[in-house]
Structure 1
């Protein structure tokens, strides 16, 4: 997670997406690189929204 973000900085939809993506990471055939990138994209969106 980004350095200055807290879980409360995410919207409810983003929280659900992060939870779902994290759960998918434990599957044996999961593409971890793609899933991490998706989580990072969500973090970047939240960070941009927080800085406004």
Structure 2
């Protein structure tokens, strides 16, 4: 049983790492788009790319 748990946790960790990399890449793309098309939206404190895109 411990081996099955280790394998399962290892696979889960790999998925988390993969999804984290994808999220980071998408956030970078989103930031570049906002910087290119509406950089003034990033000026106020507390406004990040996600909020800027929503606006």
User: Max radius of gyration: which structure?
Assistant: 2
TM-score exceeds 0.5: no
- Per the shorter chain, which TM-score range? 0.3 to 0.5
Tell me which of the two structures has the higher relative contact order, counting C-alpha pairs closer than 8 angstroms and 6 or more residues apart: 1
Give the TM-score taking structure 2 as reference length.
0.39
